[in-house]
Amino acid sequence: MAMRALVFIVAALALGGCVQDMASGTLDPAGEAGWKQKDKDLMSNLPYNQAAVPEAYQRHIVEYHRKEAPGTILVDSDNKFLYYVLPGGKAIRYGIAVGEEAQAWSGLAKVGRMEEWPPWIPTPGEQARLGPLPAYVTGGPHNPMGARGMYLYSGNKDTLYRIHGTNQPEYIGSAVSSGCIRMTNEDAIDLYNHVKVGTPVVVLPPHGDGPFTPRIAGAAQSSAAY
């Protein structure tokens, strides 16, 4: 496992380039384009308080100067951003919440499975750290997996890491999760509508390890909430 992680990191570093946050537009974070009727019904009666996501972590179209091909997801855990690469040197940038220091993961993967309003099955590690937790939580706005789940696989094996929605939007921009990549439910639906099974995912190593640190001028930083 350690050797595989090392290979992932080396491969990620070899892709090179840089990311800049020259935003050309903020996209409506509450837009319902692409929502299904179930999304509208569940999002109209939330069991949690909506949070005002800081402008820096709302969806933007930004300039993108790394070498990943259009259709790739790149996660910059240090700066709490996820990029969906577009043609023409652009990307959609989303604000995210990421794993705490000890739970962080980096490497190369692909979207191996996708699910709308997925159930949550806590892993043994989550049970040990956070338990006792229920063995199974049905999908819905009460569920920490939120509106969409994109499951990260490597070599056809589930890494147990996911990109998913959240019922705690107030933590966007923080490092609080068990290693998964959280988005607001609105952003998770938006990203889900762009990707497909097989979409490549690059998760940059933490703390700018290696020569190809993404340079994001003035990016907001946030520490773990607890």
pTM of the model: 0.79
pLDDT at 214: 37
Please give the helix or strand (H or E) that residue 38 lies within, else none: helix 37-43
pLDDT at 1: 39
pLDDT at 15: 35
pLDDT at 139: 95
Instruction: Given the residues 60, 65, 180, 207, select the one marked as catalytic.
Output: 180
pLDDT in tens, the chain (226 residues): 333 333 333 333 333 333 444 455 666 555 688 999 999 999 998 998 888 899 999 999 999 999 999 999 999 999 999 999 999 999 999 999 987 754 567 889 999 999 999 998 887 877 887 778 888 989 999 999 999 999 999 988 998 899 999 999 999 999 886 678 999 999 999 999 999 999 999 999 877 653 333 333 233 322 222 2
Task: Spell out the domains of the chain, with CATH numbers in brackets.
Answer: 2-206 (2.40.440.10)
164 catalytically annotated: yes
pLDDT at 35: 96
pLDDT at 57: 96
Interacting residues of 88 by C-beta distance below 8 A, sequence separation 6+? none
Q: Is 9 left (phi over 0), alpha (psi -120 to 50) or beta?
A: alpha
pLDDT at 42: 95
Instruction: Given the residues 18, 65, 164, 194, select the one marked as catalytic.
Output: 164
Integer CA distances (angstroms), 136 to 39, 60, 64, 87, in order: 21, 35, 39, 40
DSSP string covering 60-109, please?
EEEEE-S-PPTT-EEEETTTTEEEEEETTTEEEEEE-BEE-GGG---EEE
